[in-house]
Amino acid sequence: MFNRGKEKKKEGVRLPEELPVLPQSEVVVFPSLIVPLGTADAAAIKLIDDAAAGDKLVGFFAQRPDSKEVTDLYSVGTAAVIARMFKLPDGSVHVFFQGLDRIELKKITQVEPYLKAKVEVLEDKVEKSPELEALVRNLITLFQKVVELAPNLPRELNIAVLNIPDPGSLADFVAAHINLKPEEKQQILEAIDVTQRIRKLTVFVNRELEVLELGSKIQSQAREEMTKAQREFFLREQLKAIQKELGEIDERTVEINELRERLAQAKLPPEAAKEAERELERLAKMPPAAAEYTVSRTYLDWLINLPWAKSTEDNLDISRASRVLDEDHYDLDKVKERILDYLAVRKLKPDTRGPILCFVGPPGTGKTSVGQSIARALGRKFVRMSLGGIRDEADIRGHRRTYVGALPGRIIQGLRRAESNNPLFMLDEIDKIGADFRGDPAAALLEVLDPEQNFSFVDHYLDVPFDLSRVMFITTANIVDPIPPALLDRMEVIELPGYTENEKLHIARKFLIPKQLKENGLNAEQLEIKDEAVVSIVRNYTREAGLRNLEREIGTICRKVARRIAEGKSEAAVVTADKLHDYLGPKKFRYEIAEEADEVGVATGLAWTPAGGDLIFVEATLVPGKGNLILTGKLGDVMQESAKAALTHIRSLTAREQTKLDIPKDFYEKNDIHVHVPDGSIPKDGPSAGITMAVALASAVTKRLVSKDVGMTGEITLRGKVLPVGGIRDKVLAAHRAGLKRVILPAENEKDLEEVPQEVKEELDFIFVKTIDEALEAALNQRASTNQPPC
């Protein structure tokens, strides 16, 4: 397009004074450039024809904007020569003009048939200067950038622009190629001073470049987004193709197929399998976004993860089992025997159902831990669930799936946790199960425990039967009484009555101390707890049938020693009885009651609590008054009544001359009688303190001392009879624990001594009584010395 032979051309072409003029509306023609032009306009064709026939020279001038006259032209234009020309069959003419020089329009000389004007050549004003040099270089760089970015400019222009030595022509070349408005082009054309021209042009090129850069940024962003989306689409399509190839059509189908496979592995029994298949089909038809979908999916998960066919192999080696049981627990022979019997029967008859055992005993007697040990001996998984405070049937049997957030009950949950369908399942605190408007959990539990029903236990959530008959259930309770009879009926009760001092010493030495040492990072060289210290802990820091507190106190000692060793204060410790104060603080219980001085008006009763037996002290005192009976210490109705009965009996004695008691006849006329049972904040009730009340009252009235070494229990009647009571074994053990020497019991309770360990029986004297008088006889000593307050 660019004719570099300018010098030649200039020499070769001399412009005449007058030229035919082609007015241009939108186009500005620059010197040195080739301009194509096509026209069908008759005047223009005539002009071109005439020129072609002559010197071929034409003048181009642009029309001013909004011009109305043909003659309304800019004064600066370009002279050009016709380089090539075609006539097309439709009569139009196509011409290539070669631009030559800038010309100035001096005067229009002809209008019709086409314009003619007098013109004058305008020479470029070039002043070589560093500024011009810099402008030129800058312009070239800018233009090259424009060429890079502008989609419609050929790359060759980058080279072409470097080969234009004349700055004025360079500017014209650039101005002709970039995107400028006609007015702007005209401004460049009119700039005769080349420095001015380039300066002006630089502004326009810069603007153009900015526009192009912005455009390209927008473009590339759009392209980036496009490619990301395209890539994803492409990958998805590929995935689909692969799945199709493998016979898996889409994600959903993959999931459903996977579920189906896992269901097959779970080996569901036929009924459950049918239900699972139905649910699976429902799931396949649901849109994954539906709330129902998750519900259905969760249900299937439960079905899949239950141990329908997973079980552990029982270890039927009886001698090994016996060894394991002995390793973990001292004594408890009844429990161990029962487990070994069961194993023996299983060996002979493999489909024997597990017994449902119920361990009953005070806290800390090893119920839970022996359960764990049995699981270990049998090689079964162990799961434990506390029934304490459960009032809702759904806790056992689950909620129906129609409830939002429904889950299976705790039995099924426990089995899932066990991952085996024959674990040892321990149901703790079966005596603390409750019932209210939400249904009776005991009834649900009955279904769980009843061997006649539990092979098809239906959890509300699962809604299909699960076979519980291989599970070995063991329940625990502190006392038998609150256990619903229907449940009790199906269980085999084994009592864990609590331990004597000697047994505790033994267990501490063999089990508790080693266990606590290990838990606290100590070894036997670092801490020795002497036997006398253990006995002293049992007597003075704990008063319990079980071992909980003993273990806790031993743990406290271990921690204190561990700390001293860790701090580098000592290397090892030997704990004797007289050092216990340093470790455990002051004594918590009085053991040496029997050794204390006898007192008037205080009798020691033996009481039964869910934690085993315990001592209670009944105090009675006379104060001046009118025979009122004051009872304090949170006594229940039955206990208050037995206090009243005791008082009435004592009063009745005054009427009888033959009594050995020296009771003032009018004591109740001048005195009020106050009976108090300390530990006033703990509610107490029951008839078995009757005998203790009577002794305390009689002592207060007669001023005779009550022996400190004697404990008693027994219900009384108005007529002075003593009736049998319950919990004899625990009460006797409590007396023994507290260091008493003698125990007064109702005669009818003698048979109950069978349950009391021999060693305890040997250390206590038992006095069996049929009447209150006999009890008073045994409990009261001689009169107190004189300085007692008068009554």
Ligand X SMILES: Nc1ncnc2c1ncn2[C@@H]1O[C@H](COP(=O)(O)OP(=O)(O)OP(=O)(O)O)[C@@H](O)[C@H]1O
- In angstroms, give the least distance from the CB of 259 to ligand X: 41
CB of 331 to ligand X, least distance (A): 5
192-228: string of b/e by CB count within 10 Å (b at 16+)? bebbbbbbbbbebbeebbeebeeeeeeeeeeeeeeee
Determine the Cα–Cα distance for residues 482 and 210; give it in Å rounded to an integer.
92
Q: State the binding partner of 169 from ligand X, Mg ion, none, CB within 5 to 8 A by kind.
A: none
* Of 136-144, 222-230, 365-373, 777-785: span binding ligand X (CB under 6 A): 365-373
Is there binding between residue 507 and ligand X (CB under 6 A)? yes
- Return the closest-CA partner of residue 411 out of 442, 445, 456, 380: 445
Residue 330 interacts with which of ligand X, Mg ion, none, CB < 5 to 8 Å by class? ligand X
The piece of 90-98, 175-183, 547-555, 564-572 that touches ligand X (CB under 6 A) is 547-555
DSSP letters along 467-503, please?
Answer: --TTSEEEEEES-STTS-HHHHHTSEEEE-----HHH
The DSSP letter of residue 597 is P
Residue 318 C-beta: closest distance to ligand X, Å: 20
What single letter denotes the amino acid at residue 84? R
Nearer to Mg ion by C-beta: 81 or 477?
A: 477
* 472 or 712: CB nearest ligand X: 472
Q: How many angstroms separate the CA atoms of 485 and 353, rounded?
A: 22
Q: Which residues lie below 8 Å from residue 178, measured CB to CB, with a gap of 6+?
A: 143, 146, 150, 204, 205, 208
- The structure tokens 């035919």 sit at 20
366 contact choice in ligand X, Mg ion, none (CB below 5 to 8 Å, kind-dependent): ligand X
616 beta partners = 605
511 binds ligand X (CB under 6 A): yes
413 touches, from ligand X, Mg ion, none (C-beta below 5 to 8 Å by class): none
Does 368 bind ligand X (CB under 6 A)? Our answer is yes
Among 551, 553, 730, 773, binds ligand X (CB under 6 A): 551
Q: How many CA atoms lie within 13 A of 348 on its CB side?
A: 5
- Min dist. Cβ of residue 478 to ligand X (A): 6
Between residues 356 and 622, which has the closer beta carbon with respect to ligand X?
A: 356
Question: How many whole angstroms separate alpha carbon 457 and alpha carbon 448?
Answer: 7
Task: Give helix 130-149 / helix 194-246 axis angle, nearest 10°.
Answer: 20
Residue 51 Cα distances to 48, 58, 81, 82, angstroms: 5, 7, 9, 8
- Candidate list 185, 329, 399, 729; residue touching ligand X; CB under 6 A: 329
Q: Which residues contact 313 (CB under 8 A, 6 or more apart)?
A: 379
Span from 76-84, 347-355, 359-367, 775-783 in contact with ligand X (CB under 6 A): 359-367
Active-site hit among 536, 688, 699, 707: 688
Minimum gap (Å) between residue 379 Cβ and ligand X = 20
427 touches 474 (CB < 8 A): yes
720, 773 in Cβ contact below 8 A? yes
30 near ligand X, judged by CB under 6 A: no
Please tell me whether residue 729 binds ligand X under the rule CB under 6 A.
no
Q: At what angle do helices 772-779 and 637-655 cross, to 10 degrees?
A: 90
**86 phi/psi in degrees, rounded to 5:** -125, 150
- 731 is annotated as an active-site residue: yes
**Nearer Cβ to ligand X (358/776):** 358
Q: Which is nearer to ligand X, 182 or 363 (CB)?
A: 363
Do residues 474 and 359 touch, judged by C-beta distance below 8 A?
yes
Q: Does the footprint of ligand X cover residue 363 (CB under 6 A)?
A: yes
Q: Could you say which of 200, 504, 684, 731 is catalytic?
A: 731
**Which 3 state secondary structure label does DSSP give 270?**
helix
Rg over alpha carbons for the chain, rounded to the nearest Å, is 57
**Residue whose tokens read 């603007």:** 207
The verdict on 308 binding ligand X (CB under 6 A) reads: no
Select the span of 94-102, 182-190, 239-247, 543-551 touching ligand X (CB under 6 A).
543-551
Q: Which is nearer to Mg ion, 63 or 368 (CB)?
A: 368
Q: Is 664 exposed, middle or buried (0-12, 13-18, 19+ CB in 10 A)?
A: middle
- Which residues, numbered 265-284, are part of the site for ligand X (CB under 6 A)? none
Stretch that binds ligand X, among 146-154, 175-183, 366-374, 533-541 (CB under 6 A): 366-374
Size of the site for ligand X (CB under 6 A): 17
366, 398, 690, 711: which one binds ligand X (CB under 6 A):
366
Nearer to ligand X (CB atom), residue 454 or residue 475: 475
The Cα–Cα gap between 764 and 762 comes to 6
Binding site for Mg ion (CB under 5 A): 368
Q: Does 501 participate in binding ligand X (rule CB under 6 A)?
A: no
Q: Are 713 and 480 in contact (CB under 8 A)?
A: no
504 binds ligand X (CB under 6 A): no
Write the interaction track for ligand X spanning residues 441-480; mark x where CB under 6 A is met and - where it is not: -------------------------------------x--
364 binds, among Mg ion, ligand X, none (CB under 5 to 8 A by kind): ligand X
Is 730 a residue that touches ligand X (CB under 6 A)?
Answer: no
- Verify binding: residue 528, ligand X, rule CB under 6 A: no
Q: Tell me how crowded residue 239 is: count the other CB atoms within 10 A of its CB.
A: 12
Whether 652 is a known active-site residue: answer: no
Query: Of residues 114, 330, 382, 667, which one binds ligand X by CB under 6 A?
Result: 330
With binding defined as CB under 6 A, does residue 331 bind ligand X?
yes
Integer Cα distance of 604 and 593 in angstroms: 10
- Site for ligand X contains 640 (CB under 6 A): no
Closer by beta carbon to ligand X, 29 or else 474: 474
User: Are 84 and 102 a contacting pair, CB within 8 Å?
Assistant: no
- Using CB under 6 A as the binding rule, whether residue 544 contacts ligand X is answered as no
Token couple for 145: 């950038």
Provide the token pair at 633: 């210490």
Question: Which residues face 622 on adjacent strands?
Answer: 673
Instruction: Kindly tell me which of 374 and 472 has the beta carbon lying closer to ligand X.
Output: 374
H or E stretch at 766: strand 765-769
Report the residue closest to ligand X, judged by CB.
366
Tell me how far, at minimum, the Cβ of 368 lies from Mg ion, in Å.
3
Binding partner of 395, given ligand X, Mg ion, none, CB within 5-8 angstroms per partner class: none
Which residues form the interface with ligand X (CB under 6 A)? Answer: 329-332, 363-369, 478, 507, 511, 547-548, 551
The set of catalytic residues is: 688, 731
